[in-house]
Amino acid sequence: MKNVIVLIGAGSIGQAIARRVSAGKHILLADLKKENADATAKVLSEAGFDVSTASVDIASKDSIKKLVDIATSVGSVTGVIHAAGVSPSQATAEMILHVDLYGTAVILEEFGKVISDGGSCVVISSQSGHRLPSLTEEQNKLLATTPADELLALPMLQLSEIKDTLHAYQISKRGNVLRVMAEAVKWGRRGARVNAISPGIVITPLAKDELTGPRGERYRNMLKLSPSGRAGTPDEIGTVGELLMGTNAGFITGSDFLIDGGVTASYWYGDLVNK
């Protein structure tokens, strides 16, 4: 039986992690657009990886469950890399909540039912979740533990309470990290681990669009005033993803790793305060 790494999202960060952890395993690469998955699969296949593709809409529980069925038909699911989502410049607040918050909750619930003993998962969240002011203990618990099917009915997530697309994105990414913490308990019962990575601005095609788009000046200023003074690369995120999915991180689960070149530090305590 094959060991399967499920890669959700055909972007650069997910690829960087998959390249580091998938040698000798089968990569099931899923994306909303099949043509994106096929194009990335071709690159990975020509680099020596065993790859198949599927379409998935992570805003749909039925679509995610079909992906789980495909993965388990191929072999034993030993790893999940969830790197799909939408950004504030791409989508409405409602879509962000459905894709980034609800979709992640469903992925963790459904793959948590089939993950193999010794398996692991990395969820790509965002530095934005670290910009949201502190929530109450009760709000944290609701975001972390409310069943996915009931999540979007929470009063705090009603569009009347969401200020704009950035607010929706921030609360979704905070929710991702809290959900990872709660799901780590359930995944642990199967002998598996789950962690999150919260990248800052990493140079990908999407990031290049954002750096030159309506929010571009703000993003460029964030980089300029950060301790590192630059954007990151997918390979830098991939290195941490490799650690978290490997045996050397066997004592790490339910954690979130902020990798943003110090932008968040500067946002709270440095030159980006009040900007």
Share of the chain above pLDDT 90, in %: 87
Q: What is the mean pLDDT of the chain?
A: 95
Domain membership flag for residue 227:
no
For the segment 183-210, what is each residue's pLDDT rounded down to a tens digit? 999 999 999 999 999 999 998 877 777 7
Domain membership flag for residue 220:
no
Q: Is the pLDDT of residue 275 over 70?
A: no
Domain membership flag for residue 217:
no
> What pLDDT score does 230 carry?
93
Number of domains in the chain: 1
Q: Is the pLDDT of residue 232 over 70?
A: yes
d(CA 43, CA 261): 29
Catalytic residue among 25, 61, 169, 267: 169
Catalytic residue among 25, 61, 102, 173: 173
Q: What is the mean pLDDT of residues 29-48?
A: 96
* CATH code for the domain of 120: 3.40.50.720
For the segment 43-67, what is each residue's pLDDT rounded down to a tens digit? 999 999 999 999 999 999 999 999 9
Between 212 and 56, the more confident residue is: 56
> What pLDDT score does 178 carry?
98
Domain holding 24, by residue range, is 2-202+234-261
Q: How far is CA 238 from CA 116, 124, 127, 222, 272, in A?
A: 22, 11, 16, 22, 27
Domain membership flag for residue 18:
yes
> What pLDDT score does 211 carry?
76
Residue 173 designated active-site: yes
- pTM for the complete prediction? 0.95
Least confident of 19-23, 82-86, 218-222: 218-222
For the segment 86-123, what is each residue's pLDDT rounded down to a tens digit? 988 889 999 999 999 999 999 999 999 999 999 999 99
> What pLDDT score does 274 carry?
66
Q: Is the pLDDT of residue 15 over 90?
A: yes
Domain membership flag for residue 256:
yes
Domain membership flag for residue 210:
no
Strand order, beta sheet including 75-82: 50-55, 26-31, 2-8, 75-82, 120-124, 193-199, 256-259
Residue 169 designated active-site: yes
> What pLDDT score does 216 carry?
77
Domain membership flag for residue 245:
yes
Domain membership flag for residue 216:
no
> What pLDDT score does 219 carry?
82
Between 173 and 159, the more confident residue is: 173
